[in-house]
A and B are shown apart, each in its own frame.
Chain A
């Protein structure tokens, strides 16, 4: 009779449980640290920013900087107001320049040409509009 010792399943494993936990724990910690670092770089956490935590000088400096950046991004200038202000005397208001004769002539010519184009509009059909079917 040969006595065989009981089988130890742990001896068949490639790594011992203690070794597995150490390496995986290290990997998890490094992965966690990477995630935390990336979050700290990308995410702006405003929950802890108190309104009184910033100094007035810093606030004014940031305001000035933001306004200059916004002004530099504006590519379209606002159109100049065409209407004269209404706080002038009537004589000055009435002596202002009216619409240029060129514009009046332009609209007159274009209205005549447009009216001619409207009159030239006609319905074009290739097939007869009334079709008789099943007629005796």
Chain B
């Protein structure tokens, strides 16, 4: 059932510099998580993209922003598309 999703996640993890990946649904529930990103942060990731979309109110509604959080251990890039949110931890 989730073979295509798992293949996508594995492909993302195989990219150089990627240490973690997380996919959450529109309710903030984790669909899949690998590496440094755990399922516990699925709700937070969904809320961050939701609030970021509210900040861009008035612009094109179809254009989803990419939220980047910078840490000492790398960057976490978050983007939602069609009721699913993807977070990638990249050094």
In the bound complex, how far is the Cα of B82 from the Cα of A43, in angstroms? 66
Contact-size category for B: 20 to 34
A-B pairs with beta carbons under 8 A, tally: 86
Q: Is the CB of B73 within 8 A of A82?
A: yes
Also in contact, A104 and B72, with CB within 8 A (given A110-B86, A117-B5, A118-B31): no
Nearest CB of B to A127, in Å = 16
Q: Does A39 contact B (CB under 8 A)?
A: no
Q: Is the CB of B75 within 8 A of A82?
A: yes
Q: Which of A83, A99, A112 has a CB less than 8 Å from the CB of B77?
A: A99
Q: Which of A107, A108, A115 has a CB less than 8 Å from the CB of B83?
A: A115
Also in contact, A115 and B84, with CB within 8 A (given A81-B72, A99-B77, A121-B2): yes
Q: Is the CB of B1 within 8 A of A118?
A: no
Q: Is the CB of A110 within 8 A of B75?
A: no
Over the window 49-82 of chain B, the binary record of Cβ atoms lying under 8 Å from chain A Cβ atoms (1 yes, 0 no) is 0000000000000001010101111110111111
In the bound complex, how far is the Cα of B25 from the Cα of A117, in angstroms? 12
Q: Give how many A residues have a beta carbon under 8 Å from the other chain's beta carbons.
A: 26
Nearest CB of A to B17, in Å = 9
Q: Is the CB of A108 within 8 A of B79?
A: yes
Q: Is the CB of B72 within 8 A of A83?
A: yes
Over the window 78-98 of chain A, the binary record of Cβ atoms lying under 8 Å from chain B Cβ atoms (1 yes, 0 no) is 010111000000000000001
Residues of A near any B CB (own CB < 8 A) = 79, 81-83, 98-99, 103-104, 106-108, 110-124
